[in-house]
Amino acid sequence: MSTLWIRHARVIDPATRRNAVGDLFIRDGKIVPSLSAAARQSARQIDARGLVACPGLVDIHVHFREPGQTHKETIATGSRAAAAGGFTTVVCMPNTSPVADNAGTIQYIHDATRRDAVVKVLPTGCITVGQKGAALAPFGSLKRAGVVALTDDGDCVQSNELMRRACEYAKMFDLPIMDHCQDASLTQGAVMNEGVVSTRLGLRGWPHAAEDIIVARNVILSEYTGAHLHLQHISSKYAVSILRRAKTRGVRITAEATPHHLAFTEEELGTYDTHFKMNPPLRTASDRRAIIAGLRDGTLDCIATDHAPHTDYEKDKEFDYAPNGILGLETALAVALGVLVRQHKFKLTHVVDLMTRQPARVLGLPAGSLAAGSAADVCLFHPTETWRYDAKSGFSKSSNSPWHGRNLTGRVKLTIVDGRVVFEHGQIVAPAH
């Protein structure tokens, strides 16, 4: 494996509290404290003057659609979009076709990852058989197959009794449960946030209570069973408040926010653009402010993209009939920098933490650090470079992004996975593992 010497970068590593201009050394796929004089002579030198070097970004919520929905995305194309966005570790959701509720499907994902991926792709398994919310999936065999968490993401387990049993068994197997918080009885036919804007647009509204009720249930079940529950894509200010109170009591609950809920509100839907249709829906300006405040004070633990590819012909429908979901991987860092650092004066180190160390901590992943001996997963980015995002020419197989055609600030220049440069100068430069 090649030896790399990254020079003159601003190195930000929240895990080791490093934040200074300096060098990074990589040998045999690991971060090393230094290189010998002979090794420096033969190393590939990367002049990172003006760039930030941080741990490879970690996304614990992506949809890569394989197996079964490869017209939207594949592990190959999704992992390339991840590399282009500076991500080196991603956790893929199990709502594939068939769903990942058994060891055989998990093995398929492992095999496809080894064959096709340019970043680390870690699978999750379903909470329930067929993701139907009626009977628990075989947690033990899923754990042995290598899942890092359990989730029915895309659906929410509606039965409180079943979710209680899921928590008890997940704790036995030391697996986190990730939950998509939605009371389905409150959202039948709903397509956007319920309120003044939905009334004006004539679209059926989706009350924030549908999220809040399940968030509260999950807090109660986590406290009751001692299981670790991670709540996905929080969008409601009331949910943030529930979580804040739970954390003061020491409940084993974590939660994430998405770039789109940080950047947009329901007002974006005025033109019925389906690229702004997602689950949970964009909500109000006060909800957006609460999510940002939740990230600032640690109520929300990390940023995750909920990268959800759909084809053009699926999204090009009447608003009611278009699927929920947008792309997120190639734009996440720039959006987070724009909203949190430039608009809301977060420290750059805090945003890096929310996208590296913190998501890795949530699921206990060996990622998000530049400590000596760690895997050499590195993201190099220019924090102030402005660029125009063209979803049509991106690395994802789909192009359903609300940021298409917009100028963004903050650009990934180079991505390294296990000491191999996989993305550089706007191109994927390494084959799959």
Residues that are catalytic: 306
User: Do residues 68 and 104 touch, judged by C-beta distance below 8 A?
Assistant: no
User: Do residues 212 and 265 touch, judged by C-beta distance below 8 A?
Assistant: no
Q: What's the burial of 176, exposed, middle or buried (CB within 10 Å: 0-12/13-18/19+)? A: buried
Distance CA(1)–CA(66), nearest Å, equals 30
User: Do residues 228 and 254 touch, judged by C-beta distance below 8 A?
Assistant: yes
User: Do residues 368 and 357 touch, judged by C-beta distance below 8 A?
Assistant: yes
Residue 318's CB is within 10 A of a number of other CB atoms, namely 9
Distance CA(326)–CA(305), nearest Å, equals 9
Q: What's the burial of 248, exposed, middle or buried (CB within 10 Å: 0-12/13-18/19+)? A: exposed
Q: What's the burial of 298, exposed, middle or buried (CB within 10 Å: 0-12/13-18/19+)? A: exposed
